Amino acid sequence: MEPSLDAYKAFVCAARTKSLSAAARELYLSQPTVTHHLQNLEACHGCRLFVRTRRGVTLTPEGKILYDYLSEALARIDEARDVLEAHRTLARGVVRVGATETTLHHFLLPRLRRFKETYPDIRLKIANGSTPGMLTDLDEGAIDFAVLVLAKEGLEGAYRTTPLAELRDVVIAGEKYRSALNGVTTLEQLADFPLICMTPGTLSRDHIEAVFRSEGLSLSPDMELATADLITPLVENGLGIGFVPHAFARDAIARRTVFEVQLEHPLPPRSICLVCSPAHPLSAAARAFTEMLTSQDKKQPAGT
């Protein structure tokens, strides 16, 4: 019969204290129970582990070999238990968050700060990239969850998505175009102007292309940018008409260096969503963060 973990604990404790009675007291066992554990170990391993004297017990050479290995192993078990408890109680841990440029700048930053203030000993690891890149990281388990901007129809594939906030896309123009775009404008009319939007393959670009298709139009921008934060400066400099999340243009609109073009049919809103993969269970720390995110008022706009 294989020795139990309790038998090995009794052996290590007796070896360290050099006393069966002391080991019994420390382990809250009876001395006959400790003796039984040691006898079982000696029978299983086929050798004597202790020399018993009136002063206590002393390890044999074989017992010393076993003790050297077991003392380290049991210490690691205790360490593992302590670390696991620290993670369970959120005294330690790591949260790996994936975010796009939009969600990081205009949604996540204040929430990251709030989480860090609440759980100062939990490490935050932030991965920033495109939505397809974040989904790849999620599939591979490189991040715990992602916060992404999604169209109302959501995502294909086995993902759990939870809406967190609404994101409004707008069309902006500089003063150069104010007289030409003064009043309600259609997408067909916009097509006569130089257009600025995100590069193909991004969800932002896919979203605008879908809007154009819904009106029987094709989108042919003059400038295609990899990051949304570059669109507003180009529009401010009179280089074209930009499609951009409102959060990226809010300050420029307030300064009146750009204005929002009034569309006949406003661009449909999108959602900032928490995206998880059922294939990768969340740690206690990651669950705490997602609970903090989902407990927010879901009707609040991005950027609050």
pLDDT band at 26 (very low <50, low <70, confident <90, very high): very high
C-alpha pair distances (Å), 91 with each of 116, 226, 291: 12, 39, 17
Could you report how far apart the first and last alpha carbons of the chain are, in Å?
64
Separation between Cα atoms, residue 219 and residue 210, nearest integer Å: 9
Mean pLDDT of the chain: 90
Q: How many CB atoms lie within 10 A of CB 203?
A: 19
For range 77-87, the mean pLDDT: 87
What confidence tens digit (pLDDT) does each residue in 237-280 have? 999 999 999 989 999 999 999 999 999 999 999 999 999 999 99
Give the pLDDT score at 87. Answer: 85
Query: Is the pLDDT score of 153 beyond 80?
Result: no
Please tell me the predicted confidence (pLDDT) of residue 302.
Answer: 53
- For the chain, list the domains and their CATH numbers: 5-88 (1.10.10.10), 94-166+271-294 (3.40.190.10), 169-268 (3.40.190.10)
Residue 130 — very low, low, confident or very high, per pLDDT cuts 50/70/90? confident
Pick the residue with more confidence: 209 or 158?
209
The tokens for 246 are 């409102």
Neighbours of 216 (CB within 10 A): 8
Q: What phi and psi values does residue 287 have, to the nearest 5 degrees?
A: -65, -40
Tell me, what's the pLDDT at 154? 67
- Measure the CA–CA gap between 7 and 10, rounded to whole angstroms: 5
